[in-house]
Amino acid sequence: MFIGEYTFNLDDSHRLNIPNSFKKYLEETLVIAKGFEKCLYLYNLSDWKVISEKVNNLSFTKSINRKFSRSLNSGAYELEIDSKGRICISQKLIDYAGLTKECVILGVSNRIEIWSKEEYDKYSSENDNILAQLGEEMDI
């Protein structure tokens, strides 16, 4: 399970360190994909297969399902962590998420989210009270 918030720099070769505390939970093959709210999602391949199966079970006769499947899968790439504990992010995904130098890496249960520092700071300031509000609504 991935938890916590970390900040690392994206290097000039598009490599990003993965927090040491996450590495023990990572499989050999990972999938990085476009996420919601302009971030990237990083999954173990086995978790990605579960998501992919759910998407594959949607009726392809509905336009919204086809659009979602296309968007999700066309923005996903398999990758591996290198010997120094880094992943290499494609330029397309860097552009999508607006990654520059400083990146925020979040552990979100079964996935890792990668945000540009600017986008994450903006998201955080707009959603400061979300935990209490959602906890109350969800009766947690």
H or E segment to which residue 72 belongs: helix 63-74
- What pLDDT score does 140 carry? 65
- What pLDDT score does 34 carry? 96
* pLDDT tens column, 8-37: 999 999 999 999 999 999 999 999 999 999
- What pLDDT score does 69 carry? 94
**CA 75/CA 114 separation, integer angstroms:** 14
- What pLDDT score does 70 carry? 94
Residue type at 72 in one-letter notation = L
What parts of the chain have a pLDDT lower than 70?
140
- What pLDDT score does 51 carry? 95
Scanning the structure block, which residue is given the tokens 């916590």?
4
- What pLDDT score does 125 carry? 86
Describe the strand order of the beta sheet including 40-44 as a list of residue ranges.
Answer: 2-9, 102-109, 111-116, 40-44, 30-34, 76-79
Beta strands in the chain (DSSP E): 2-9, 15-17, 30-34, 40-44, 76-79, 86-88, 102-109, 111-116
**CA 54/CA 64 separation, integer angstroms:** 14
- What pLDDT score does 94 carry? 98
